[in-house]
Amino acid sequence: MLAEFSNLENRDPRQYERVVRIIRHLLRHQFIHTDDRGSAALLEGLLRADVERLVSAYFEIAGYTLVVREAEGWAGIVPDTEQVGLPRLRIDETIVLLLLRRLWEEGVQDGEMERHGNVEVTLNEAYDAYQDTVARARRPSLAVGEFKTLVEGFGRKAVVRLTDYDPELQDYGLTIRALIATVAGDDVVDRLEKLLLRPELADQSDEEAESEVPA
């Protein structure tokens, strides 16, 4: 592996720099989405067979699988659960993730899917749905600012995109991307929904209640 990178650096320094930029981005953000600023060129470079092979081999050594979904405009790395433990999310993060997955599914079922499999909602619409969800789970509700902070956290991983505030609508646009179905797959959703039904969660703090997802 090191020899391949060294050979590429000597043979084609510009291509080597592209590969390094892609790896750095994935290490920092986990996912690349073509609609994010500066990411289209990264994804285009990754779609080259020789680059994809190198990047895939690099992360495979570390226990991660490179997933590429060109039609949905994204690529990313997910942990191989036989080698790497899943990251842990606080329970409030888990609820928000489940909510985003449900809103995306509802949009798809209603025929509202747009380019790259995106579903468009607003932050206020998502927050209203969140309040209904936590009421059923008998959890205290986050304030809208705290909810927005969690959504922004998923935005840094390219799972969603939050637009600038619209003073006329007094709301933010929220794009839920198709990669939510990978971050919160059916098996993960089933496991997390069962977790949320446990009565003891109503009395647990975020430090006491955590869940594992491939995000």
pLDDT at 185: 78
Sorting pLDDT into bands at 50, 70 and 90, what band is 101?
very high
Q: With H, G, I as helix, E, B as strand and everything else as coil, classify residue 165.
A: strand
Cα angle, residue 170 at apex, residues 90 and 96 outer, rounded to 5°: 15
As a whole number of angstroms, the distance between CA 186 and CA 175 comes to 20
Pairwise pLDDT comparison (97 vs 214), residue with the higher score: 97
Segment 37-56 mean pLDDT: 94
As a whole number of angstroms, the distance between CA 5 and CA 11 comes to 10
Of 122, 116, 134, nearest in space to 173 by CA:
122
Residue type, 118: N
- Evaluate whether 57 touches 81 at the Cβ level (below 8 Å): no
Tens digit of pLDDT for each residue in 7-39? Answer: 888 888 889 999 999 999 999 999 999 999 999
Segment 151-176 mean pLDDT: 95
Instruction: Enter the pTM of the model.
Output: 0.83
- Residue 121 β-bridge partners: 174
Half-sphere exposure of 209 (CA within 13 A, CB side): 19
pLDDT at 142: 93
Of 190, 180, 186, nearest in space to 215 by CA:
180
Tens digit of pLDDT for each residue in 105-160? Answer: 999 999 999 999 999 999 999 999 999 888 876 778 899 999 999 999 999 999 99
pLDDT at 140: 81
Residue 198 has pLDDT above 80, yes or no: no
Tracing tokens 């680059």 back to the chain, one arrives at 51
Segment 69-73 mean pLDDT: 96
pLDDT at 209: 44
Share of the chain above pLDDT 70, in %: 84
25-39 b/e (C-beta count within 10 Å ≥ 16 → b): bbeebbbbbbbbeeb
State both tokens at 213. 């997802």
Sorting pLDDT into bands at 50, 70 and 90, what band is 212?
low
Q: For the sheet containing 160-166, what is the strand order?
A: 119-122, 171-176, 160-166
Segment 172-183 mean pLDDT: 95
Segment 70-82 mean pLDDT: 91
Residue 204 has pLDDT above 60, yes or no: no
